[in-house]
Amino acid sequence: MKRLLVALVTACTVATFFVVVGQDQALSGPKQGQVVRRAATGDLKPAEITTTTSDSKTVTRTLPFFSNATLQAVQDALNVAAGEDRLEGADAGGDIANTDFSDIGGTKATLGCAKRDSAGNTRVNQDCSFRRQAEEDITYNPANSNNIVGGQNDSRVGYNQCGIDYSTDGGKHWGDMLPPFRQRFNSPEGDGVNTVVGGTGTEKTYDFGSDPTVAWDSHGRAFFSCLMLDIGTDATGLYVVQSPAGAAGSFYFNVPQFGRSWIVVEDNSPAASHDKNFLTADAYPSSPNRDNVYTTWNVFNFTCGPSGTDYCSSKIYGSMSTNHGLRWSKPEEISGINPSLCDFGNFFNPADDEHACNFDQGSDPIVLPNGDLEVVFNNGNTPDVNNQQLAVHCKPSGDSAAGTAKLNCSPPVLVGSDVLAGAPRCNFGRFCIPGHYIRTNDYPRIGVSTDNGHLYTVWQDYRNQEWDIQMAHSYDGGDTWVNDGTVNPDSGIDHYFAAVDVAEKGNGDNVGVSYYRTERVANENTTPPGGFTFGATATCGPAANETCMGDYILGGGTNFGLPFEFKVVAPPFSPPDGIQAGFNGDYSSLMITKGGEAHPIWSDTRNVDPFAPGNGVTHDEDVFTDSLGLPNGTAKPSVGQIGKR
């Protein structure tokens, strides 16, 4: 193990940073290359900064790493486990020899495909595979609010893909499909400007996809985006495809086997591993950038350290299309530089600026009514254990087909602090929700009032010594942000994976925030040696011997009058189990129509798998939505109870 050492001395703190820049394990093949494979098997671990403060307290902060969904998808495909990370394959017929399945109390007759809607919610995915669907996005057609599209990570065919969903009756009924785009060959040498570093293509198809996201433009064109990844090489890419007006999201143009059409970015290099994308479009009829489409994502560089295979940076990139997704602008690094916010930018790579904000993950873009673009993201260029939420403001210009399009983003500004001190970790080496034994993150989500351009950002952090939802707002187009405080009024349970949207009512901002809740385990603020295990999910209740349950919440209020009132929208559900344990996506989503109708989307385990143990799970993960009135009020503090207001 090789370490670098640097000392930082300020007026109040003496901090020592130990940064892991080498790994102890090796694959059976060459270490150069196959970045996502090395990450999934535990050979490549997140860089860590261990800080010793002036009062001799030692804390360790983990720098950004691949999203949970990307790692999970690779692990599902590899069907191996190594290091501190944990494999939980989604394939039927996986290794279940050590799985203990109790009596599930279901039969094929009572739990067939037609019987899997329950508790008043609508199931979005329409398969009967009893394989995981999780990590959801949703939005509506501004030309017809009854036309809704969604997406989710989808394991119905074994290797994870990005599932596509559509509804033409306001979400009462859904159709779904997997993208018919899997004939795409990795070929960055033929992509022109749509690469970051390029590389010689693999000239073979990608193995799997991850991180689905959706958008609409003002004319009723839907857009769907997904990452493309390969197991055996460093090939990664990102596409955005269009569903033409009138198709209602039920049909999308095809990604070509070769060529630039619909391709945002494509590389085959450890210096450019693409991850965690989100998508938005300009649907304002009066906007100067009407019908432009934008996407932002994370680019990992693993070419630093003595071996040339370790972490350098993880910057936020962006791209835009001015011809409805067919051609995309050259990817731009947009996370920027700010001497007052970001340090250690050149710690791993001397070529980077000292104050580059380049330890990033989890960006989310949104368009303002004037046609500008605001992007929020999570950043770790801080001197202590905590992260921060940052934002850049962009003024798009040019033509993507002509090669003149640029985002023109400002330097980043502070949205809010992201407190992680004391947050629990599980034995797969990441922050987690111990009660459900799932990976979690602190990525921000952003919403905008289409009436006045007011911006709201939400995220989870551990400032209250439990996972709670925080909010900040900006009323000047993202130039400055004000921290509002904690969204959820209840304490004593964990809250996570928040989403936000704003109702178009014109009489104050009716802000909606949706999120998961899960019971907390005993001593959750003290992570045991090695991390919490799956056994923690059975330590709830008065006698600490009951299954920890979760639910899903829709909250709402006016402007920033926190904490928000809320309603429970999902029945209590148990943790993901068997070969699906450890993962419930990286995000959920929320949309609010022009009429103020809220449509949250989430995944849960209410449905029992009648084919256990042969299918490897007791409870399936399915995607659900509902159509609800948005709560609007300030709530009184309370002690949280799963399944109850």
Residue 151 bridge partners (DSSP): 137, 164
Distances (CA, A) of 13 to 7, 24, 158, 173: 11, 32, 50, 58
Instruction: Give the pair of three-digit tokens for residue 227.
Output: 């990452």
Share of the chain above pLDDT 90, in %: 73
Roughly how many angstroms between the first and final C-alpha of the chain, as a whole number?
50
The three-state secondary structure class of 43 is: coil
Banded model confidence at residue 52, pLDDT cuts 50, 70, 90: low
- pLDDT of 11 higher than 90: no
CATH architecture of 3-639: 6 Propeller (2.120)
Place of tokens 């279940």: 96
- Which H helix or E strand runs over 76? helix 68-78
Question: What average pLDDT does the segment 626-637 reach?
Answer: 96
| DSSP string over 300-327 | EE--BTTTT-B--EEEEEEEEESSTTSS
Banded model confidence at residue 112, pLDDT cuts 50, 70, 90: low
Residue 364 bridge partners (DSSP): 376
- Which H helix or E strand runs over 61? strand 58-62
More confident residue, 420 or 101: 420
- Kindly report the three-state secondary structure assignment for every residue of 560-583: CCCCEEEEECCCCECCCCHHHCEC
pLDDT (tens digit per residue) in 322-368: 999 999 999 999 999 999 999 999 999 999 999 999 999 999 999 99
- pLDDT of 44 higher than 90: no
Strand residues in 256-380 grouped as ranges (E): 263-268, 273-281, 293-301, 313-321, 332-333, 360-367, 373-379
Question: What average pLDDT does the segment 74-100 reach?
Answer: 44
Banded model confidence at residue 281, pLDDT cuts 50, 70, 90: very high
Q: What angle do CA 534, 539, 542 make, to 5 degrees?
A: 165
**Beta-carbon neighbour count of residue 9 at 10 Å?**
8
- pLDDT of 402 higher than 70: yes
Task: State the pLDDT at residue 366.
Answer: 99
Between strands 48-52 and 14-20, the pairing is antiparallel
User: Which of 56, 20, 26 has its CA nearest to residue 38?
Assistant: 26
User: Which of 407, 349, 335, 343 has its CA nearest to residue 378?
Assistant: 335
Task: Calculate the average pLDDT of the chain.
Answer: 88
Lowest mean pLDDT of 44-58, 144-158, 494-508, 595-609, name the range: 44-58
Q: Where are the domains of the chain?
A: 3-639
The C-alpha atoms of residue 493 and residue 491 are separated, in whole angstroms, by: 6
Residue 616 bridge partners (DSSP): none
User: Which of 613, 581, 584, 579 has its CA nearest to residue 89?
Assistant: 579
pLDDT (tens digit per residue) in 434-452: 999 999 999 999 999 999 9
CB-count exposure of residue 553 (10 Å: 0-12, 13-18, 19+): buried
Q: Is the peptide bond before 188 cis (omega within 30 degrees of 0)?
A: no
Find out whether 356 and 337 touch, Cβ atoms under 8 Å: yes
User: Which of 539, 522, 525, 534 has its CA nearest to residue 427?
Assistant: 534
The greatest distance separating any two alpha carbons of the chain, rounded to the nearest whole angstrom, comes to 70
In single-letter form, the type of residue at position 4 comes to L
- pLDDT of 97 higher than 50: no
In single-letter form, the type of residue at position 70 comes to T
User: Which of 314, 311, 309 has its CA nearest to residue 298?
Assistant: 314
